[in-house]
Structure 1
Amino acid sequence: MGDPTVFDSCQYASDTEARAAWRPMGGTAPVAVTELDGRKALRMPCNFAGTKIERASWDRRVALDLTACRGIEFLLLCRDASPVSHFSLYLQSGEGWYHAAFYPEATNAWNLIRLDKAAFGTEGRPAGWGQIRTVRLSAWRGQDRDTELFVRDFRLTGALGQDALVAIVRADSVTRSSPDEARAVTQYTETTAELLQSVGLDCAVLSDLDLTAAA
Structure 2
Amino acid sequence: MERNPFVLGANLQGGEKLVTYPFDMQRPPISHSLATPDDAMFRWLAMSYAHSHLTMTETYRGSCHGDDITGGQGITNRATWKPVVGSMNDFSYLHTNCFELSIFLGCDKFPHESELPLEWENNREALLSFIEQVHRGIKGIVRDIDGNPLPNATISVEGIRHDVKTGKLFYIVFQIMKIQSFEPYTTLPYTRRTPAGTKKLRRLSLIT
TM-score range, shorter chain: under 0.3
**TM-score of the aligned structures, taking structure 2 as reference length:** 0.27
**Higher helix proportion (structure 1 or 2):** 2
Higher-Rg member (1/2):
2
**TM-score of the aligned structures, taking structure 1 as reference length:** 0.27
